[in-house]
């Protein structure tokens, strides 16, 4: 039975509580791999520069929606060093985890907040709003529309919303994701008073291949196999030097494949995740 936002909420309350209880260091909270992070973070920085977003330390008021275990919080704290960073999640367990593991920085605070709430009360506006791996967890059309309306309301006039999406040609429903087609996604964005300003691939083999629509046991399955084998091989390396070499190799394969798609095909047709930059219309 496909999950609703309420089911997903309950799932994350359990999951973040379990992970927080089991964690001995921030390394135990990481669920992306080093290849995935290196590629995605590089594309993120490049896109911000291409969009002319000021990223010198102290320049940005930044909102992160659905912060989870803090993958993007860490990236923002280390590389963008915003004036203020507000991390939010609708799971109270996530906020507890974030405060425990990422709560030391003076510029960072965390809030329990549901981005789909009609009465969402977050001080804004924000120059940069990051929404990574959240919106496909909002299957209900009315909640999705409210989430986009909230993003529009919280965004500074010249601000940018950065969303990670898959943008396949056809909408796909899995148990816990509604992966909207590029057409459905764009129509909803427009209705909320926003526009797509840029699309960049942030993973080729390294992220879920949900950018490829079609049956589970088709091309998507082959991409999943490559991803799983890569993780197994890198994870099974006997020493740090071999792990570094293999990681570097996979990063280079990802970079080359993304560059090829971007130049000769179209970033929107990248098999993996995309970074979608939105601005006010």
Which residues form the interface with ligand SAM (CB under 6 A)? 8, 12, 65-68, 71-72, 89-91, 94, 114-116, 132-134, 137-138
Tokens 């003076």: give the residue: 106
Tell whether omega for the bond before 214 is within 30 degrees of 0, i.e. cis.
no
Task: Give whichever of 111 and 169 is closer to ligand SAM, judged by the CB atom.
Answer: 111
Provide the edge-to-edge strand list for the sheet that holds 108-112: 108-112, 84-89, 61-65, 126-131, 155-165, 274-280, 194-201
| 27 secondary structure, DSSP code | G
Task: Give whichever of 90 and 204 is closer to ligand SAM, judged by the CB atom.
Answer: 90
Least distance between ligand SAM and beta carbon 238 (Å): 29
Least distance between ligand SAM and beta carbon 263 (Å): 27
Sign of the C-alpha dihedral computed for residues 143, 162, 27 and 79 taken in this order = negative
Task: Give whichever of 32 and 222 is closer to ligand SAM, judged by the CB atom.
Answer: 32
Is the distance from CB of 197 to CB of 277 less than 8 angstroms? yes
Is the distance from CB of 165 to CB of 148 less than 8 angstroms? no
Task: Give whichever of 13 and 246 is closer to ligand SAM, judged by the CB atom.
Answer: 13
Nearest to 117 by CA among 9, 189, 195: 9
Task: Give whichever of 35 and 245 is closer to ligand SAM, judged by the CB atom.
Answer: 35
Nearest to 152 by CA among 115, 206, 184: 115
Cα–Cα distance for residue pair 130/252, rounded to 1 Å: 26
Task: Give whichever of 91 and 230 is closer to ligand SAM, judged by the CB atom.
Answer: 91
Cα–Cα distance for residue pair 53/47, rounded to 1 Å: 9
Least distance between ligand SAM and beta carbon 100 (Å): 15
Cα–Cα distance for residue pair 143/260, rounded to 1 Å: 37
Least distance between ligand SAM and beta carbon 94 (Å): 5
Determine the length of the chain: 281
Least distance between ligand SAM and beta carbon 241 (Å): 29
Task: Give whichever of 151 and 212 is closer to ligand SAM, judged by the CB atom.
Answer: 151
Task: Give whichever of 8 and 275 is closer to ligand SAM, judged by the CB atom.
Answer: 8
Least distance between ligand SAM and beta carbon 120 (Å): 9
Least distance between ligand SAM and beta carbon 239 (Å): 29
Distances (CA, A) of 59 to 81, 118, 128: 8, 30, 10
Least distance between ligand SAM and beta carbon 136 (Å): 9
Which positions ≥6 away from 110 have C-beta within 8 Å? 67, 86, 87, 88, 89, 95, 98, 99, 102, 103
């Amino acid at each position: 039975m496909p999950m609703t936002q309420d089911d997903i909420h309950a799932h994350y309350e359990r999951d973040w509580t379990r992970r927080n209880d089991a964690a001995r260091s921030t390394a135990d909270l990481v669920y992306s791999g080093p290849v995935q992070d290196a590629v995605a973070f590089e594309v993120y920085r490049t896109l911000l520069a291409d969009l002319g977003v000021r990223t010198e330390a102290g320049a940005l008021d930044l909102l992160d929606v659905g912060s989870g275990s803090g993958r993007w919080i860490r990236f923002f704290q280390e590389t963008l060093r915003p004036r203020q960073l507000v991390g939010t999640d609708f799971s109270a367990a996530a906020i507890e985890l974030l405060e425990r593991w990422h709560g030391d920085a003076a510029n960072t605070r965390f809030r329990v907040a549901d981005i789909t709430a009609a009465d969402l009360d977050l001080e804004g506006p924000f120059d940069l709003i990051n929404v990574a791996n959240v919106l496909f967890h909002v299957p209900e059309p009315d909640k999705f529309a409210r989430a986009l309306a909230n993003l529009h309301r919280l965004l500074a006039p010249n601000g940018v919303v950065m969303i990670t999406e898959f943008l396949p040609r056809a909408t796909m429903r899995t148990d816990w994701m509604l992966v909207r087609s590029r057409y459905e996604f764009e129509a909803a964005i427009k209705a909320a008073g926003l526009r797509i300003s840029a699309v960049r691939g942030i993973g080729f083999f390294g992220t879920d291949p949900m950018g490829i629509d079609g049956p589970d046991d088709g091309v998507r399955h082959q991409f999943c196999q490559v991803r799983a084998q890569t993780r197994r091989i890198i994870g099974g390396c006997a020493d740090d030097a071999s792990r570094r070499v293999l990681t570097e190799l996979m990063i280079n394969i990802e970079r080359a494949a993304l560059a090829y798609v971007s130049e000769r095909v179209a970033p929107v047709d990248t098999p993996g995740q995309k970074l979608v930059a939105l601005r006010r219309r």
